[in-house]
Chains A and B, each alone.
Chain A
Amino acid sequence: MSFSVKARVMFIVLAGTARSLAGAEDLRGPETFVSITNQSERSRALFVEAGRVLQHPRCLNCHPVGERPTQGNDRHPHSPFVVRGLDDKGAIGLRCTTCHQDANYAPSGVPGHPQWHVAPKSMAWQTKSLGQICEQIKDPRRNGGKTLPAIHEHMAHDSLVGWAWMPGGNREPAPGTQAQLGALLGAWIESGAACPAS
């Protein structure tokens, strides 16, 4: 059996890139919202725009309510059956790293990142409204003890968050860019970090 890895990888990467670009959506920047003179309304509008990222399947799939992550744009249960385990990195004998390596791997189509894991239960976003996610993000008891500047730093610069824009294969990236998400959330915090009603 022979395996022309380079040719196969190049084909998959090129095909995946074309699909990814086709699926990318723009994200409106903070400047779009300056015309909203009421500060709280502007803040809520900024978060609603950022919510297009937070509620994208690339983010929601690993913020499950229960024990199991989901996958795909339809957020179907992860296959094979996996659970978060005690450390959010899988069960004994079937860790996230059993399949997910440090980078997306084109020959098998399995995505990867060095910090691959599911979000803690307190940070579950699936089934939550955007308003509920907003309140959760601001709550240090549920956000890992983070201040709002720390939340901004995490969203704007964390490399696992950044995977959402470089998901590889035929996975649709999150809207816009990580820098745009950071700018939106920075402006949201500056304007009082108001949350949408629902």
Chain B
Amino acid sequence: MSVTLNINGTRREFDGDPDTPLLWVIREDVGLTGTKYGCGIAQCGACTVHVDGQTLRSCSAPVSAVANRQVTTIEGLTSRAAKAVQKAWVDLDVVQCGYCQSGQIMSATALLEKKSKPSDTDIDHAMAGNICRCATYQRIRAAIHAASAQLAG
């Protein structure tokens, strides 16, 4: 049984096992490799995508769970909040090794799309599931505030 997907606005059919992790489909079948494999057990956040505007750990969701829903990967981010986040990330030079950063950006964007002026606590709660082995947490928090200021300006 095939699964109908909508990834970054493009309709796709997946004919494999419907229990396959969404992450595998995004990376191996669709070929979008911006979404990263980190832990495989929803502990690190590197595989974060948006489904209908909410964050989802794609390593821990069967592809069947997103049938006929809107999946957005790091390659498909186009919202005003997303552009503000991307600019803030560059301006503050947030990235060190970069492996976790697509997941960080997906979570930061989801936060700002729902709450454009988040407090430090809001940021900590939203970003707690995204681990950065380079410990860029302070720059991530500063960049989210900077993106928030852009959105207000």
A residues with CB within 8 A of B: 1, 3, 5-6, 9, 79-83, 85, 91-95, 97-99, 101-102, 105, 107-110
Contact = CB atoms under 8 A, between A and B. Distances in A.
Interface of B: 16-17, 19-21, 24, 28, 40-43, 45, 48, 54-57, 59-62, 65, 107-108, 110-111, 114-115, 118, 122, 125-129, 131
B115 A92 contact: yes
B82 to A, nearest CB: 13
A140 B60 CA distance: 38
Contact of A105 (B43, B48, B60, B131): B60
A91 B125 contact: yes
At the interface, is chain B mostly helix, strand, loop or mixed?
A: mixed
Given A92-B126, A108-B21, A99 B28 contact: no
A93 B19 contact: no
At the interface, is chain A mostly helix, strand, loop or mixed?
A: loop
Contacts of A110: 41-42, 60
A101 B114 CA distance: 21
A107 B62 CA distance: 9
B54 A81 contact: no
Contacts of A6: 17, 19
29 contacts: A1-B28, A3-B21, A80-B128, A81-B125, A81-B128, A82-B125, A82-B129, A92-B110, A92-B114, A93-B107, A94-B107, A94-B125, A94-B126, A94-B127, A94-B128, A94-B129, A97-B56, A98-B42, A98-B48, A99-B57, A101-B62, A105-B60, A105-B62, A108-B40, A108-B41, A108-B42, A108-B59, A110-B42, A110-B60
